[in-house]
A = this chain, B = another copy of it.
Amino acid sequence: MAEDNLLIPLDEYLKAGIHIGTKYKSKDMSNFIYKIRQDGLSIFNIEAINNRLNVAAEFISKYKPEDILIICRRENGWVPVNLFSEITGVRNITGRYPPGLLTNTNLDNYIEAKLAIVVDPLPDRNALKDSVRSGMPIVALCDTNNDCKNVDLVIPCNNKGKKSLGLVFYVLAKEYMKRRKLIKSEKDFKYTLEDFSKE
């Protein structure tokens, strides 16, 4: 893997622990797993993570902010997801997903979106189910334990840690702004990786 094909330096990926999976290895995720560590944790291939992040950034950038919805029940994702939204204008639901929000047109808070980004298919399963029913493409962060049924585009990564989630949304925010030409170059992106994983 050439370092210059990476969206972020290799040591940043490693420091965030984006490649550290769980002790459980689902068959759906086995293609992305590079090895099982002696302590039993499954480890992702960093190149696979980087390539999928690149494809996901490309995919997401084809959509206007108002057409995208991020779903994140896990608390460790709230800081990065909210900062991503602040920068890009993309909507999000953090915390509990209100039933029917994406499917029940009679609800006052009914949301129409064209692309869903799901942080973890397991805790976010209700929102995932409704996204499927509404016919949207679904991009999801999937850890080594996830079942990827109904996920259209998988981003393999540690989707549990603060630093790892911070890195994913830092990269996606920067690439979204660049690829939609909302900033001229990387230098105009004023946020740091640390901003995305603040306590």
Contact = CB atoms under 8 A, between A and B. Distances in A.
Interface residues of A, number: 20
A27 interface: yes
Contacts of A55: 137, 152
Contacts of A52: 152
A137 B28 contact: no
Given A51-B132, A152-B153, A59 B28 contact: no
Interface string A53-74: 0110011001000000000000
A137 B153 CA distance: 10
B27 A137 contact: no
Contacts of A58: 137
Interface of A: 5, 27-28, 30-31, 51-52, 54-55, 58-59, 62, 132, 135, 137, 147-149, 152-153
